[in-house]
């Protein structure tokens, strides 16, 4: 069997900010194989974008340090690669679509030139004109967009242009980091549908980073749940979303399903998102976990254990100790409550 396109194993990343250290990844493991659609979910600050940046060698130099674990692309270890050696790997085999297209697109360059440059970077001999039209068609934009500047387009159209630039590189894996967050609900749905169409038409793998469980449920075959710099649960999306193995995943699902309360507030998981200023001794979720046992904070972070079908795993001491998922479900619901998130 060929190696996965992207394989991240027990990755540890620390940011050395001027006034503090942030242990942003404390053991993140993730794989993306051919023709897969993978979702990465987790609260803000859980390390989702750090994983994406690490996968493209885009961690800020002089600030971020990989202190452990490994990254491999198509079976090649790229963990310690120097910055300039990353260049040939960017775009192909892995391309990225960012949340904010305006910060990526050149404001004074027409769309056709921006797509054309991406084509030429990967295939210098190629004539770009027809290919630009093909790519615009692929992202379901009219050919007339080719002569537009980014500021003349709507947010959804810019996101499509960014996808065309990424696809111009002929990636095997497209990483989309919160591609819909800045868009209105209707446009979000269109972009999700487009990602699915692209995945099916080109057979390209998609790794979608999202806060939105409903989007992941609709689009993804596999999913990873991140908490405090770790992947705490992974496996087939439909199985996780019907039988979550980790109390955190259960809490996320409960919060996502719940309606607003009488004061118009949404449900969140009780307790604060943990500070990443320290490495965790025990389970990082223990302080917020409604089924935490005394030793959850004291023992080492729980290893991943099988939580269902063969490749559905979760990192929870309850699973290690043989208690079933249903125990979590009974008690974990107590952890989702309505608290101060304003509508
Ligand atoms: N350049 C940086 N310097 C210092 N700390 C950083 C830097 N970039 C990210 N961090 C910190 O690393 C942690 C993980 O950040 P990251 O952006 O990966 O989270 P995220 O899951 O993508 O969050 P969001 O959902 O808000 O996008 C956070 O605590 C964040 O404040
Ligand atoms: Mg992010």
Strand partners, 77: 72
Tell me, using a 6 A CB cutoff, whether residue 332 lines ligand 1: no
Residue 248 Cα, ligand 1 centroid: separation in angstroms? 19
Considering the entire predicted model, what is its pTM? 0.90
Residues 116, 122, 124, 125: is their CA dihedral positive or negative?
negative
Number of domains in the chain: 2
Nearest CA to ligand 1 atom 26: 44
Convert the pLDDT of each residue in 133-168 to its tens digit. 999 999 999 999 999 999 999 989 999 999 999 999
Residue 200 Cα, ligand 2 centroid: separation in angstroms? 26
Query: Within this chain, do residues 47 and 85 fall inside the same structural domain, yes or no?
Result: yes
Range from 130-144, 177-191, 258-272, 315-329 carrying the lowest mean pLDDT: 258-272
Long-range CB contact pairs, 154-158, < 8 A, 24+:
154/187, 155/101, 155/182, 155/183, 155/187, 156/183, 156/187, 156/190, 156/191, 158/101, 158/102, 158/105
Residue 156 Cα, ligand 1 centroid: separation in angstroms? 25
Nearby residues of 287 by Cβ (< 8 Å), 6 or more positions away: 271, 274, 297
CB 296 within 8 A of CB 323: no
Whether the predicted pLDDT of 127 surpasses 70:
yes
Query: Within this chain, do residues 125 and 268 fall inside the same structural domain, yes or no?
Result: no
For residues 294-316, b (16+ Cβ closer than 10 Å) or e, as one string?
A: eebeeeebbebbebbeeebbbbb
Among candidate residues 191, 225, 259, the one where a domain is terminated? 225
Place of tokens 């979760």: 314
Consecutive H or E run containing 10: strand 6-16
Among candidate residues 197, 225, 253, the one where a domain is terminated? 225
Convert the pLDDT of each residue in 1-43 to its tens digit. 689 999 999 999 999 988 899 999 999 999 999 999 999 999 8
Tell me, using a 6 A CB cutoff, whether residue 86 lines ligand 1: no
Consecutive H or E run containing 138: helix 129-138
Strand partners, 64: 15
Query: Within this chain, do residues 266 and 162 fall inside the same structural domain, yes or no?
Result: no
Query: Within this chain, do residues 169 and 127 fall inside the same structural domain, yes or no?
Result: yes
Strand partners, 40: 209, 224
The CATH number assigned to the domain holding 193 equals 3.40.50.300
Query: Within this chain, do residues 46 and 183 fall inside the same structural domain, yes or no?
Result: yes
Query: Within this chain, do residues 219 and 288 fall inside the same structural domain, yes or no?
Result: no
Strand partners, 68: 12
Tell me, using a 6 A CB cutoff, whether residue 24 lines ligand 1: yes
Where in the sequence is the domain holding 205, given as residue range(s)? 6-225
């Amino acid at each position: 069997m060929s190696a996965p396109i992207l394989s991240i194993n027990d990755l540890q990343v620390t940011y050395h900010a001027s006034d503090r250290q942030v242990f942003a990844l404390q053991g993140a493991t993730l794989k993306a194989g051919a023709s897969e659609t993978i979702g990465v979910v987790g609260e803000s600050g859980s390390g989702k974008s750090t994983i994406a940046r690490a996968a493209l060698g885009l961690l800020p130099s002089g600030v971020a340090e990989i202190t452990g674990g490994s990254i491999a692309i198509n079976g090649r270890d790229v963990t310690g690669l120097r910055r300039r050696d990353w260049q040939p790997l960017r775009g192909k085999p892995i391309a990225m679509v960012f949340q904010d297209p305006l910060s990526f697109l050149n404001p004074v360059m027409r769309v056709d030139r921006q797509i054309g440059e991406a084509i030429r970077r990967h295939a210098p001999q190629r004539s770009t004109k027809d290919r630009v039209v093909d790519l615009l068609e692929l992202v379901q934009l009219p050919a007339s967009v080719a002569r537009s500047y980014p500021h003349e387009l709507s947010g959804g159209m810019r996101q499509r242009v960014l996808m065309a630039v990424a696809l111009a590189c002929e990636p095997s894996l497209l990483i989309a980091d919160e591609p819909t967050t800045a868009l209105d609900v209707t446009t979000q749905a269109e972009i999700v549908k487009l990602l699915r169409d692209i995945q099916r038409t080109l057979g390209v793998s998609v790794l979608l980073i999202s806060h939105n469980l409903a989007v992941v449920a609709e689009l993804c075959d596999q999913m990873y749940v991140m908490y405090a710099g770790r992947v705490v649960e992974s496996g087939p999306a439909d199985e996780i979303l019907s039988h979550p193995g980790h109390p955190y995943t259960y809490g996320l699902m409960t919060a996502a399903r719940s309606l607003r309360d009488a004061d118009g507030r949404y449900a969140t998981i009780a307790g604060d998102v943990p500070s990443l200023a320290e490495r965790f001794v025990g389970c990082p979720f223990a302080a917020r976990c409604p089924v935490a046992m005394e030793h959850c904070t004291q023992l080492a972070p729980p290893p991943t254990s099988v939580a269902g079908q063969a490749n559905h795993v979760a990192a929870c001491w309850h699973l290690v100790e043989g208690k079933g998922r249903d125990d979590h479900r009974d008690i974990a619901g107590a952890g989702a409550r309505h608290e101060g998130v304003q509508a």
